[in-house]
Amino acid sequence: MNKDYMNEEWFSVLKREIESSSQRSVADKLGYSMTAINLVVNGKYKGKTDKIAAKVMRVYNIKCPFSGNVITLQDCRDIAHAAAPTHNPIKMGHWKACLKCPNRPD
């Protein structure tokens, strides 16, 4: 079954995260049951998906104020918590911006 939401960006992000880890870990991270995520992924979810979609985008993607690009939360975390890149002025500017960023992940 192919539901309309299966063509949306958040669904691609959800599938990517499941493929890189597991359905259980994604469900846990999103705060949904594994059954709900399984139904969504297989196009059998009967309810609205707007809250799941918003949660997926909030948890797994973030718009970087420095670059203006949408990046994965993991990429954001990697940049923010890396050692200062003293070898590259552009990366150093990005790293410094991360120090004061309101989106900075823990």
List, for residues 42-74, the tens digit of each pLDDT value: 999 999 999 999 999 988 888 899 999 989 887
Instruction: Kindly state the tokens that stand for 15.
Output: 């599938």
Q: How far apart are CA 84 and CA 67, in angstroms?
A: 17
Query: What pLDDT sits at residue 36?
Result: 97
Say if CB 70 and CB 61 are below 8 A apart.
yes
Say if CB 13 and CB 60 are below 8 A apart.
yes
Q: How far apart are CA 34 and CA 22, in angstroms?
A: 10
